[in-house]
Structure 1
Amino acid sequence: MTRTPTAALSLGADYEAVADRFRPIFERIAAGALERDQTRALPHEEIDELKRVGFGALRVPVSHGGSGVSVKQLFRLLIELAAADSNLPQALRGHFAYVEDVVNTSPGAERDRWFARFVDGELFGNAWTEVGNVALGSVITKVSRRGDRWVVNGAKYYSTGSIFADWIDVYAQHADGRDVIVAVPTKQPGVTLSDDWDGFGQRTTGSGTTVFNDAAVQEAHIVDFSRRFRYQTAFYQLFHLATLAGIARAATRDAAAEVRARQRVYSHGNASHVSRDVQIQQVVGEIAAWAYAAEAIALQATEPAQRAYEARFVDDAEAEKQANIDAEIESGKGQIVVTELALRASTHLFDALGASATSGAKSLDRHWRNARTVSSHNPTVYKAKLVGDWEINGTEPVYVWQIGRGGNDG
């Protein structure tokens, strides 16, 4: 029996009508992407513009002022955005994950308040990972009582998007020992945000350090981690697939544009203009085909997440469990293949061009650098192991994993 009216769920919208609202902004974002990469300029203005036109409320139901798009439609838009600048989907990853958690909660006043904030343009960042000498499974960031208020203390790295955000989704340990998620407002003295991410790719995602020093939080914004939506790991992974697919699309665009504009030819080539050289046409065709496959796989992998979301509001526990399993397995399969396709496309584009394509002024290497960086976050070898264990033994995938200092077992 359905517990929530269908009209109150985000089941899909007219994609072209929604996308047309954002495409002019995507074009402006693309126009500045090269300069931002070269100067390491954070896209504050670009994200603010997306906020103003409701991009952060894409998954909020229409009944509450959002666009009501499906999971697949969200990631189609993110692929378009990634083709413009692959840093922006990653910067918004923490926001959409928090939104997804809210859309999975039962109707009520607190959910309505969050929906209203999202529609007003408020954004979330992310602060889950702790680096340094932190034992696997430990959480140093703590939530505790200080007199009549609750505060957060600790430090996080890979705080993707937090420097652009109004709120931060913080993974912490409660004073009573529970693992919790805390919504921390950024505009307060107790929160210090640093742009100290030093990766060679995805340079402008705002993935630096966040320090919490008695950062104030409301008790209502402290939620037990066990309540978090079940397909969260798959959902986070889908962002990487969309980003990689967008990078492959950008590599196709830039390879074709560079070939069209190139005047110099080789004496042992096949035509008087590079654009007519059949071997160069083949190279660009292969890049385009790999980008097409990457996008198709990325979008296919979103479907179980939508099923899991819808099953959350129907009394069918078995269907919900299977959808969550499928979401993990399909996103894992997608990562294994899409990673290879994006890296292949971003490398192969240089085979269509001459040495001048390596000019720092063009920064065509940013496509490979960005793809390599995105695909390094969650090692594909472990995703392949997870998929293989499921196929061979029917082992249910791990829904949540952590990283930290290992033991001394050699």
Structure 2
Amino acid sequence: MAEIDEAPSSHTTEADRHAVRVIADDAEALAVAHELASRFAHGAAERDRERRLPHDEIEWFSQSGLWAITVPKAYGGAGVSFVTLTEVVKIVAAADPSLGQMPQNHFGLVDVIALTGTEEQKRYFFAQVLNGKRFGNGFSEKGTKHVLDLKTRVRRDGEHYVVDGAKFYSTGALFAHFVPVLGLDDERKGWLAWIPQGTPGLSVIDDWSGFGQRTTASGTVVLENVRVPASHVFPAHRVSDFPTLNGPISQIIQASIDAGIAKAALGDTLTFVRTRSRPWIDSGVERAGDDPLTVREIGHLHIQLHAAEALLERAARVIDEIAAKGGISEDDVARASVAVGEAKVLTTEIALLAGEKLFELGGTQATLGEHGLDRHWRNARTHTLHDPVRWKYHLVGNYYLNGVKPARHPWN
């Protein structure tokens, strides 16, 4: 079996490293997100239609410094609030939700490093992130009983670990400098191995065929006797063994993507109704925008979106408050999980509703391929399947009615 170096060579040249922006604070993060979103929105429909992977765009994204905004201030990052993080993700996802989803696991993994890494690991990997390096993921598997039924194995071999298995739904792995892979040891404890792209035995296959989120490269990762130095392996089980905010953080990023999809769908609905739609013959008006039933539906959609955004911001503030006080308890994690669960219910529902209502209010011509408007519903339907919203209702109800704390895992 081939081995990799303890400190893998950078994929970024010296010249590129100087071009990587280091964002200083929350205000700068939001400004950069708005600037990038305007670039990402251009050509988003065409990329979706042609399933053209965003090679240039992903470089702009990580070079912008946004992928490093959650690196703690003690290690040179901006350490932005979760209110800011959710807003950044929402802004980017509204422009192109495939790009908005790309750093989803990356941000969760930065938190894993902070929670479980040694001081040496934190210094090394946070520096990599600040240098523009991207983390993909190799978490989920196809054909198992449930999401935590993993076949991938990680075993210790001297100063290395050996990883064998196969993953799917590996968002962003094709573009990643490191592919963190989750596997179980002989005691069925979870370990995360940060595997540099190009490592012998690591294959990333672009075979994602989902009808939505088409350019996320969420395909297959195959691992055959991959050797990883111990310095690149983290005890992932500790994230759930003890009370941490990793689950709520992972979930609030998901909800932010859905809020962005909803915002984009509603924006395109307004534009189409104003410029192309015709009023119904019984409405007695000349413009579709004056049709009272259309006006009513637009009002309803905005109320639902603003309610979802309000719960999303509230959940982010809950996480910020708990993170700031330190000494996180089981009650703290439960409160954060429930707050995020409430937000995720509404962001899921408005994303799907806005994507559907676009066609009802836009009319038959809104379905024409030349407009590319079907991507909003397809993206919403695909991304919201990450975990079932019906279980979020159960989580919230069981907490308030029976005092049952949500299980601690990345889906709560």
Query: Smaller-chain TM-score range?
Result: 0.7 to 0.9
SS at match of 1:144: strand
Q: How has the CA–CA distance of structure 1 residues 231 and 223 changed in structure 2, closer, same or farther, with 3 Å as cutoff?
A: same
CA contact (8 A) 2:121 2:232 kept: no
- Paired with 2:144 and 2:304, the residues of 1 have a C-alpha distance of 40
User: Which residue of structure 1 lines up, in the alignment, with residue 120 of structure 2?
Assistant: 109
CA contact (8 A) 1:78 1:89 kept: yes
Out of 236, 239, 244, the position equivalent to 2:258 is 244
CA contact (8 A) 1:283 1:349 kept: no
Written as runs of structure 1 = structure 2, the 5 A alignment for 1:92-131 is 92-104=103-115, 108-131=119-142
Q: How has the CA–CA distance of structure 1 residues 25 and 391 changed in structure 2, closer, same or farther, with 3 Å as cutoff?
A: same
- The amino acid across from 1:101 in the alignment is V
User: Which residue of structure 2 lines up, in the alignment, with residue 174 of structure 1?
Assistant: 185
CA contact (8 A) 2:256 2:347 kept: no
User: Which residue of structure 1 lines up, in the alignment, with residue 288 of structure 2?
Assistant: 274
- The amino acid across from 1:376 in the alignment is L
How far residue 158 of structure 1 moved from its aligned partner, in angstroms, is 1.0
Deviation readout 1:321-380 (Å, 9 max, x if unpaired): 322111111122222232222222221222322210111221212211211122222112
Written as runs of structure 1 = structure 2, the 5 A alignment for 1:399-410 is 399-400=408-409
User: Which residue of structure 1 lines up, in the alignment, with residue 341 of structure 2?
Assistant: 332
CA contact (8 A) 1:157 1:208 kept: yes
- Paired with 2:355 and 2:188, the residues of 1 have a C-alpha distance of 46
SS at match of 1:324: helix
CA contact (8 A) 2:112 2:236 kept: no
- Paired with 2:109 and 2:396, the residues of 1 have a C-alpha distance of 26
SS at match of 1:121: coil
Q: Which runs of 4+ in 1 moved over 6 A?
A: none
User: Which residue of structure 2 lines up, in the alignment, with residue 292 of structure 1?
Assistant: 306
SS at match of 1:124: coil
User: Which residue of structure 2 lines up, in the alignment, with residue 185 of structure 1?
Assistant: 196
1:371 aligns with 2:380: yes
1:233 aligns with 2:222: no
Written as runs of structure 1 = structure 2, the 5 A alignment for 1:338-377 is 338-377=347-386
Q: How has the CA–CA distance of structure 1 residues 45 and 73 changed in structure 2, closer, same or farther, with 3 Å as cutoff?
A: same
Deviation readout 1:210-232 (Å, 9 max, x if unpaired): 00112231112222223227222
Q: How has the CA–CA distance of structure 1 residues 226 and 250 changed in structure 2, closer, same or farther, with 3 Å as cutoff?
A: same
Q: How has the CA–CA distance of structure 1 residues 54 and 254 changed in structure 2, closer, same or farther, with 3 Å as cutoff?
A: same
Q: How has the CA–CA distance of structure 1 residues 142 and 259 changed in structure 2, closer, same or farther, with 3 Å as cutoff?
A: same
Written as runs of structure 1 = structure 2, the 5 A alignment for 1:129-208 is 129-133=140-144, 138-145=149-156, 149-175=160-186, 177-208=188-219
User: Which residue of structure 2 lines up, in the alignment, with residue 64 of structure 1?
Assistant: 75
How far residue 187 of structure 1 moved from its aligned partner, in angstroms, is 2.2
How far residue 33 of structure 1 moved from its aligned partner, in angstroms, is 1.1
CA contact (8 A) 1:304 1:324 kept: no
User: Which residue of structure 2 lines up, in the alignment, with residue 83 of structure 1?
Assistant: 94
Q: How has the CA–CA distance of structure 1 residues 56 and 401 changed in structure 2, closer, same or farther, with 3 Å as cutoff?
A: closer
- Paired with 1:243 and 1:361, the residues of 2 have a C-alpha distance of 25
1:221 aligns with 2:232: yes
SS at match of 2:80: coil
Identity %: 34
1:20 aligns with 2:31: yes
Give the CA RMSD over aligned residues: 2.5
- The amino acid across from 2:338 in the alignment is I
- Paired with 2:119 and 2:158, the residues of 1 have a C-alpha distance of 29
SS at match of 2:43: helix
User: Which residue of structure 1 lines up, in the alignment, with residue 392 of structure 2?
Assistant: 383
Deviation readout 1:133-192 (Å, 9 max, x if unpaired): 557854321123557643211101111111111112211023565321211112223211
- The amino acid across from 1:197 in the alignment is W
Q: How has the CA–CA distance of structure 1 residues 151 and 290 changed in structure 2, closer, same or farther, with 3 Å as cutoff?
A: same
Out of 249, 252, 255, the position equivalent to 2:269 is 255
Unpaired segments ≥5 residues, structure 2: 1-22
- Paired with 1:133 and 1:277, the residues of 2 have a C-alpha distance of 50
- Paired with 1:245 and 1:136, the residues of 2 have a C-alpha distance of 24
- The amino acid across from 1:40 in the alignment is R
- The amino acid across from 1:323 in the alignment is D
Q: Which deviates the most, 57-66 or 72-81? A: 57-66
How far residue 265 of structure 1 moved from its aligned partner, in angstroms, is 4.6
TM-score by length of 2: 0.86
User: Which residue of structure 2 lines up, in the alignment, with residue 408 of structure 1?
Assistant: none
SS at match of 2:42: helix
- The amino acid across from 2:126 in the alignment is F
CA contact (8 A) 2:169 2:220 kept: yes
User: Which residue of structure 1 lines up, in the alignment, with residue 12 of structure 2?
Assistant: none
- Paired with 2:187 and 2:300, the residues of 1 have a C-alpha distance of 56
CA contact (8 A) 2:89 2:257 kept: yes
TM-score by length of 1: 0.86
- Paired with 1:401 and 1:79, the residues of 2 have a C-alpha distance of 20
CA contact (8 A) 2:104 2:253 kept: yes
- Paired with 2:392 and 2:127, the residues of 1 have a C-alpha distance of 37
User: Which residue of structure 2 lines up, in the alignment, with residue 405 of structure 1?
Assistant: none
How many residue pairs align between the two structures? 386
- Paired with 2:52 and 2:293, the residues of 1 have a C-alpha distance of 38
